């Protein structure tokens, strides 16, 4: 028997350099050929100390030793015991703490006196270097270099957080970049999210501050144990450089003629609270892949148009040759209209990059550094060879964890589109869209998409940071901004059903998917404050009927200029969400062992459910508004008072969907629930017909129109190919992609039953004429998979259950049963229909 233990992972990080946790929790996975393998105990070794824990836990296991101190480097390994036998030790992971205390910083922020954006400082390396670390961040975005060589491969660092509360710093190992004698540490600063145009439809300038700033602390340890520290301080100098303009929305202008010959002037000190500094809890943004154009076209007006075959987020890298002062101009768009770049959906975002050539015989290669665009198409003007242009895809460097495919190529493409929309909108924070003058962390969009996101990629670390901002920005009343970080001001801080509920529902989903109870505990006070606030708004009747609501946003029946006015009454949506959040909060309290809060919120949830039923559910089970979203909410959130009403609501939901010709009749909040509600109501056939509809509005309509990402509106592109003229016409908005969670859990049949998938459901529900489907997930415990295939009357199901977990298996027409880890194969004869 072999039992291999993976190298331990710290927190949600694959790169444990510069850890911000003094007590990092550890996780490992097991590889074994033994079915049903279960851990009885583990032993953790660090700093030569060992600790045995009599426990089966292998995910986010508490740090058993004295906390790490700042900068401490600790090799850690683990072994496990099962059935009395200890395994071999795992490979070692070396953890290294970052600067855990504001007092560790002797560096101070510096700022250019004017609009200079190049900064540099010089220092001496006295002898052979054993180790060197650079701790660095900026007010703005930065790229640093040592002796002219870029440090690291991060993009748009330090990213976007609620800067007034939390500013992330990065830690780099720069040992190899130093040389004996004089060295130069340099950085380029740009506005990024800190000072650029940011907001809703235009936005404001200098959202966070007037001045860009840099903070850097380089710590050198020499081979004799002595050290030097070199910090940003008033001896640094700054200069203008080639970065002429830079804006996230509008693009970047780089004048290569200004790359040399600067005049360096002194910097000035800048005050900024070092207590806001925090280490990242997730991976940085990186360049993840490059795409070559699939076609180079000439538009009717004579423009050279590149088609990358995929709507993506990132920027172009060009290769140019020409005279000094020649310009290459790049414009980006997600779609073409009448063969021309259609930039109207970008609203005021210019999305234009300009490169001004140095000139000469040599090829000049350039990629903008401090902007990103959402595009599939681009026009290029000037002396750059279009065939050599590459699209560089950028997003948070999350581990890909989940995959899905099935026998219907359109559904598989729909799923691929969801993955691309996640990539495009998980660029340091979860955004609604990546292309127009917006790109904000809208809470509602993430709320509905988190279950899907948490399957596709390991986004626990990234969303931990976003949630910290969400709680930091929560008002004393308990209300939260509708988009986080909040740049829309006070008017954006209000409870909106389905949006604000992200406070409660996102941590809960992350707990279920990643087993992170500490995160749940940390968010718990914010969750309570939010639900208390909404309960207050709902008043003594416990009906949430007032205030500004987005409703079932972008229901296809809503008037184009009133996207919130769909068929489902707003009070129905809002009160349903209050009941749901209170229920989830009660469950969260139970999971955390908080009995008092559990009781309190379970009581509130029960009362709101009763109020909902009394006010909005007729005795026969008809829900006010008689809409698909109303029924989906009532069924999924358990708001129907009895079995008769439940049965009626299920029937009525199916009828409503059929009456709409199996076209989508739901918006942001109903869409993620409707297939689940139908399945639960015993109408899987109707759910499949809804999924497989190809006419507008439907999920597959966009796919038949050539979509490669999920659209904001069901008809972002109209059937005749015209681009919707509405204000909000993004082609890269993940919200409607939330149906992928149903594909994973129900179509393929792989779902979590206990936090972190410690117990999973294997419950495939074949239908819709599909002949096979498969979901594969790297769970926190290791790879899991469910795959099925229909051959005539026979259904064959294969499943992989990770070591140290178990599964509840429900096959069509059979009694559910439990199984342990390992590779399984079952067949069901005759008992399933696939039409
Ligand atoms: C828009 C975006 C976003 C949505 C809000 C309410 O600006 O489309 O997705 O959450 O409105």
Q: What is the DSSP string of 499-527?
A: TTTHHHHHHHHHHHHH--HHHHHHHHHHH
Residue 126's Cβ-count burial label (10 Å; 0-12, 13-18, 19+) is middle
Percent of the chain with pLDDT over 70: 99
Length of the chain in residues, anyone? Answer: 835
Residue 131's Cβ-count burial label (10 Å; 0-12, 13-18, 19+) is middle
Smallest Cα–Cα separation from 212: which of 231, 191, 241, 185? 191
Segment 118-155, tens digit of pLDDT: 999 999 999 999 999 999 999 999 999 999 999 999 99
Q: Which residues pair with 826 in a beta bridge?
A: 797
Distance CA 409, CA 692 (A): 11
Separation of CA 451 and ligand 1 centre (Å): 19
DSSP character for 360? S
Catalytic residue among 21, 219, 438, 785: 438
Query: Whole-model pTM?
Result: 0.98
The reported pLDDT for the residue numbered 832 is 41
Distance CA 274, CA 139 (A): 12
End-to-end Cα separation, the chain, in angstroms: 44
Distance CA 116, CA 265 (A): 9
The pair of structure tokens assigned to 331 is 């414009």
Tell me how far CA of residue 92 lies from CA of 28, 47, 77, 78, 132, in angstroms: 11, 12, 5, 8, 22
Q: Which of 441, 442, 734 to mutate to test the pocket of ligand 1 (most atoms within 8 A of CB)?
A: 442
Distance CA 700, CA 412 (A): 10
Ligand 1, atom 6, residue with closest C-alpha: 550
Q: What are phi and psi of 325, to 5 degrees?
A: 95, -15
The pair of structure tokens assigned to 790 is 């229909």
Separation of CA 567 and ligand 1 centre (Å): 18
Q: Rounded to 10 degrees, what is the CA torsion of 495, 664, 435, 153?
A: 90
The reported pLDDT for the residue numbered 294 is 98
The reported pLDDT for the residue numbered 289 is 98
Domain spanning 102-282 has what CATH number?
2.60.120.260
Ligand 1, atom 11, residue with closest C-alpha: 442
On the CB side of 638, CA atoms within 13 Å amount to 10
How does strand 49-53 pair with strand 41-46?
A: antiparallel
The pair of structure tokens assigned to 485 is 């970080």
The CATH T-level fold of domain 286-396 is Jelly Rolls (2.60.120)
Separation of CA 357 and ligand 1 centre (Å): 39
Separation of CA 432 and ligand 1 centre (Å): 7
Residue 292, phi-psi category: left (phi > 0), alpha (psi -120 to 50), beta (remainder): beta
Residue 203: which residues within 8 A CB-CB, separation 6 or more? 197, 249, 437, 487
Distance CA 821, CA 29 (A): 13
Residue 489: which residues within 8 A CB-CB, separation 6 or more? none
| Block residue for tokens 């294997």 | 762
Residue 834 banded pLDDT, cuts 50, 70, 90: very low
8 Å CB contact between 440 and 349 = no
Q: What are phi and psi of 621, to 5 degrees?
A: 105, 0
Separation of CA 785 and ligand 1 centre (Å): 35
Helix 443-456 crosses helix 409-425 at what angle (to 10 degrees)?
Answer: 120
> In the predicted model, is pLDDT for residue 414 greater than 90?
yes
Q: Which of 437, 445, 726, 738 to mutate to test the pocket of ligand 1 (most atoms within 8 A of CB)?
A: 445
Strand, coil or helix: what is 423? helix
The CATH T-level fold of domain 755-834 is Maltose phosphorylase, domain 3 (2.60.420)
Q: Rounded to 10 degrees, what is the CA torsion of 726, 375, 462, 18?
A: -150
Ligand 1 contacts (CB < 6 A) are 432, 438, 442, 444-445, 550, 553, 712, 728, 733
Q: Which atom from ligand 1 is nearest to the alpha carbon of 553?
A: 6
Integer-rounded Cα Rg, in Å, for the chain is 28
Ligand 1, atom 5, residue with closest C-alpha: 442
Smallest Cα–Cα separation from 319: which of 328, 331, 310? 328
The pair of structure tokens assigned to 161 is 């957080």
Q: What are phi and psi of 629, to 5 degrees?
A: -65, -40
What residue spans define the domains of the chain? Answer: 3-97, 102-282, 286-396, 755-834
Smallest Cα–Cα separation from 505: which of 576, 593, 402, 554? 576
Q: Which of 421, 424, 429, 432 to mutate to test the pocket of ligand 1 (most atoms within 8 A of CB)?
A: 432
Residue 167: which residues within 8 A CB-CB, separation 6 or more? 137, 139, 158, 161, 272, 276, 277, 278
Tell me how far CA of residue 286 lies from CA of 397, 398, 652, 817, in angstroms: 6, 10, 48, 44
The pair of structure tokens assigned to 80 is 């496990």
Separation of CA 779 and ligand 1 centre (Å): 31
Q: Which atom from ligand 1 is nearest to the alpha carbon of 735?
A: 9
Same fold, 286-396 and 755-834: no
Active site residue 785: no
Strand, coil or helix: what is 650? helix
> In the predicted model, is pLDDT for residue 831 greater than 60?
no
Average pLDDT for residues 22-43, to the nearest whole number?
98
Separation of CA 553 and ligand 1 centre (Å): 8
Distance CA 363, CA 290 (A): 20
- Give the other-Cβ count within 10 Å of 273's Cβ: 11
Segment 793-807, tens digit of pLDDT: 999 999 999 999 999
Catalytic residue among 11, 405, 712, 785: 712
Residue 202 banded pLDDT, cuts 50, 70, 90: low
> In the predicted model, is pLDDT for residue 243 greater than 60?
yes
The reported pLDDT for the residue numbered 461 is 98
The reported pLDDT for the residue numbered 59 is 98
8 Å CB contact between 803 and 31 = yes
> In the predicted model, is pLDDT for residue 830 greater than 70?
no
Q: Which atom from ligand 1 is nearest to the alpha carbon of 712?
A: 8
Q: Which of 553, 714, 732 to mutate to test the pocket of ligand 1 (most atoms within 8 A of CB)?
A: 553
Distance CA 550, CA 832 (A): 41
Helix 502-514 crosses helix 460-472 at what angle (to 10 degrees)?
Answer: 150
Distance CA 513, CA 531 (A): 23
On the CB side of 574, CA atoms within 13 Å amount to 21
Q: Rounded to 10 degrees, what is the CA torsion of 626, 628, 634, 636?
A: 170
Residue 176: which residues within 8 A CB-CB, separation 6 or more? none
Q: Which atom from ligand 1 is nearest to the alpha carbon of 200?
A: 7
Q: What are phi and psi of 392, to 5 degrees?
A: -105, 115
DSSP annotation string for 697-726: SSHHHHHHTT-SS--SSTTSB-TTSPBP-S
Distance CA 175, CA 787 (A): 47
CATH label, 3-97, candidates 1.10.357.10, 2.30.30.40, 3.90.45.10, 2.60.40.10: 2.60.40.10
Tell me how far the alpha carbon of residue 699 is from its chain's centroid: 21
For the chain, what is the total number of helices (H) and then of strands (E)? 14, 47
Q: Which atom from ligand 1 is nearest to the alpha carbon of 438?
A: 7
The reported pLDDT for the residue numbered 638 is 98
Q: Which atom from ligand 1 is nearest to the alpha carbon of 444?
A: 10
Average pLDDT for residues 772-791, to the nearest whole number?
98
8 Å CB contact between 376 and 312 = yes
Segment 87-119, tens digit of pLDDT: 999 999 999 999 999 999 999 999 999 999 999
Q: Which atom from ligand 1 is nearest to the alpha carbon of 496?
A: 6
Residue 196 banded pLDDT, cuts 50, 70, 90: confident
> Residues 503-528, buried b or exposed e (16+ Cβ, 10 A)?
bbbbbbbbbbbbbbbbbbbebbebbb
The reported pLDDT for the residue numbered 734 is 98
Distance CA 554, CA 647 (A): 28
Percent of the chain with pLDDT over 90: 97
Mean pLDDT (the chain) is: 97
Ligand 1, atom 3, residue with closest C-alpha: 432
Residue 347, phi-psi category: left (phi > 0), alpha (psi -120 to 50), beta (remainder): left
Active site residue 823: no
Q: Which residues pair with 402 in a beta bridge?
A: 777
The reported pLDDT for the residue numbered 654 is 98
Residue 275 banded pLDDT, cuts 50, 70, 90: very high
Helix 517-538 crosses helix 570-591 at what angle (to 10 degrees)?
Answer: 140
Cα dihedral across residues 233, 234, 236, 238: positive or negative: positive
Ligand 1, atom 2, residue with closest C-alpha: 432
Separation of CA 59 and ligand 1 centre (Å): 35
Separation of CA 441 and ligand 1 centre (Å): 9
> In the predicted model, is pLDDT for residue 833 greater than 50?
no
The pair of structure tokens assigned to 540 is 């003594």
The reported pLDDT for the residue numbered 204 is 72
Distance CA 588, CA 584 (A): 6
């Amino acid at each position: 028997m072999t039992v291999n233990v993976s190298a331990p992972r710290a927190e949600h990080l694959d790169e444990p350099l510069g850890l911000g946790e003094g007590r990092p929790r550890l996780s490992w996975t097991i590889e074994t050929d033994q079915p049903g393998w279960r851990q009885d105990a583990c032993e953790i070794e660090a700093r030569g100390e060992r600790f045995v824990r009599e426990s089966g836990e292998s995910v986010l296991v508490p740090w058993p030793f004295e906390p790490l101190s700042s900068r401490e480097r600790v090799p850690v390994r683990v072994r496990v015991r099962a059935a009395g036998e200890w395994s071999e030790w795992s490979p070692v992971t070396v953890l290294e703490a970052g600067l855990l205390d504001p007092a560790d910083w002797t560096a101070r922020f510096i700022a250019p006196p004017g609009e200079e954006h190049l900064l540099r400082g010089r220092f001496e390396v006295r002898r052979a270097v054993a180790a060197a670390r650079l701790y660095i961040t900026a007010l703005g975005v930065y790229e640093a270099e040592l002796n002219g060589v870029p440090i690291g491969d991060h993009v748009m660092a330090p990213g976007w957080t609620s800067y007034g509360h939390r500013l992330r710093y990065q830690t780099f190992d720069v040992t190899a970049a130093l040389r004996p004698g004089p060295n130069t540490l340099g950085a380029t600063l740009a506005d990024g999210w800190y000072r650029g145009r940011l907001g809703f439809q235009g936005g404001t300038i200098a959202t966070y501050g007037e001045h860009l700033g840099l903070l850097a602390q380089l710590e050198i340890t020499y081979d004799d144990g002595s050290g030097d520290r070199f910090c940003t301080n008033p001896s640094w100098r700054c200069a203008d450089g080639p970065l002429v303009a830079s804006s996230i929305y509008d693009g970047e202008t780089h004048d290569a003629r200004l790359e040399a010959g600067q005049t360096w002037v002194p910097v000035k000190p800048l005050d900024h609270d070092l207590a806001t500094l925090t280490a990242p809890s997730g991976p940085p943004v990186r360049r993840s892949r490059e795409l070559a154009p699939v076609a180079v076209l000439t538009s009717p007006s004579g423009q050279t148009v590149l088609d990358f075959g995929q709507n993506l987020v990132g920027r172009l890298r060009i290769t140019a040759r020409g005279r000094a002062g020649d310009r290459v101009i790049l414009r980006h768009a997600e779609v073409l209209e009448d063969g021309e770049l259609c930039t109207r959906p970008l609203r005021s975002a210019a999305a234009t990059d300009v490169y001004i050539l140095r000139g000469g015989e040599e090829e000049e290669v350039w990629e903008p550094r401090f902007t990103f665009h959402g595009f599939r198409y681009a026009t290029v003007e000037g002396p750059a060879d279009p065939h050599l242009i590459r699209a560089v895809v950028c997003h948070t460097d999350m581990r890909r964890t989940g995959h899905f495919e099935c026998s219907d190529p359109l559904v598989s493409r729909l799923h691929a589109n969801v993955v691309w929309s996640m990539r495009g909108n998980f660029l340091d924070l979860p955004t609604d869209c990546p292309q127009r003058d917006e790109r904000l962390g809208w809470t509602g969009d993430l709320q509905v998409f988190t279950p899907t996101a948490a399957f596709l990629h390991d986004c626990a670390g990234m969303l931990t940071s976003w949630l910290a901002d969400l709680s930091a920005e929560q008002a004393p009343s308990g209300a939260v901004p509708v988009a986080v970080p909040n740049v829309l001001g006070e008017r954006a801080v209000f409870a909106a059903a389905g949006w604000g509920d992200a406070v409660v529902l996102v941590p809960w989903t992350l707990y279920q998917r990643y087993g992170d109870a500490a995160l749940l505990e940390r968010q718990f006070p914010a969750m309570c404050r939010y639900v208390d606030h909404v309960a207050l708004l709902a008043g003594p009747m416990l009906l949430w009927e007032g205030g500004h609501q987005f409703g079932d946003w972008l229901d296809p029946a809503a008037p184009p200029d009133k996207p919130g006015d769909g068929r489902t009454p707003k009070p129905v949506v809002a009160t349903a969400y209050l009941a749901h959040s209170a229920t989830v909060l009660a469950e969260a309290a139970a999971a955390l062992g908080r009995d008092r809060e559990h009781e309190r919120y379970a009581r509130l949830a029960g009362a709101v459910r009763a109020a909902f039923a009394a006010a909005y559910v007729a005795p026969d089970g008809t829900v006010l508004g008689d809409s698909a979203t109303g029924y989906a909410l009532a069924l999924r959130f358990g708001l129907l008072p009895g079995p008769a009403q439940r049965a009626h609501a299920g029937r009525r939901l199916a009828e409503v969907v059929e009456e709409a010709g199996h076209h989508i009749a739901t918006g942001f909040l109903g869409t993620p629930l409707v297939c689940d509600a139908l399945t639960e109501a015993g109408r899987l056939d109707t759910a499949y017909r809804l999924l497989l509809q190809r006419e507008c509005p439907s999920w597959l309509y966009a796919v038949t129109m050539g979509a490669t990402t999920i659209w904001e509106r069901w008809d972002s592109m109209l059937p005749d190919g015209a681009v919707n003229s509405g204000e909000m016409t993004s082609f890269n908005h993940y919200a409607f992609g939330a149906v992928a969670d149903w594909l994973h859990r129900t179509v393929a049949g792989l779902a979590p039953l206990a936090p972190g998938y410690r117990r999973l459901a294997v419950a495939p529900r074949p239908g819709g004429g599909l002949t096979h489907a498969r979901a594969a997930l790297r769970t926190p415990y290791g790879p899991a998979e469910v795959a099925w295939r229909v051959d005539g009357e026979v259904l064959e199901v294969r499943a992989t259950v990770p070591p140290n977990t178990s599964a509840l298996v429900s096959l069509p027409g059979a009694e559910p049963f439990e199984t342990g880890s390992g590779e399984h194969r079952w067949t069901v004869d005759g008992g399933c229909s696939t039409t």
